[in-house]
């Protein structure tokens, strides 16, 4: 799984792993997209069990804008990952 470090919820640094799905032209999705993500580190500390990050997931579940912002940040990181190679 790809990994990236992003800032969410007003600047909290987290590391996430995510899955990328390929295009599905038969249903109108013409490019790859981010399907799901999991928070693996919060402010540099490893998330050892789901309950360590439950409060973040709860906040993201309450706000579509916040969860969309996470996907957008992952997408930006993913799309620009090879710009500096």
Residues 6+ apart with CB under 8 A from 71: 34, 37
Q: What is the pLDDT of residue 84?
A: 41
Q: Is residue 82 over pLDDT 80? A: no
R_g over Cα of the chain: 14
Average confidence (pLDDT) over 48-56:
94
Q: What is the pLDDT of residue 83?
A: 42
d(CA 44, CA 5): 10
Q: What is the pLDDT of residue 80?
A: 54
Q: What is the pLDDT of residues 12-24, one digit of tens each?
A: 999 999 888 888 8
Environment class of 14 (CB within 10 Å of its CB; exposed 0-12, middle 13-18, buried 19+): buried
Q: What is the pLDDT of residue 13?
A: 95
């Amino acid at each position: 799984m790809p990994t990236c470090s992003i800032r969410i919820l007003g600047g909290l640094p987290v590391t996430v792993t995510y899955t990328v799905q390929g295009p599905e032209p038969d249903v109108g999705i013409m490019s790859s997209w981010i399907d799901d993500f999991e928070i693996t580190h919060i402010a540099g500390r490893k998330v050892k069990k789901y309950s360590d990050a439950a409060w973040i997931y709860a906040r993201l579940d309450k706000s579509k804008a916040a969860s969309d912002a996470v996907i957008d940040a992952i997408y930006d990181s993913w799309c620009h990952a090879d710009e500096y190679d």
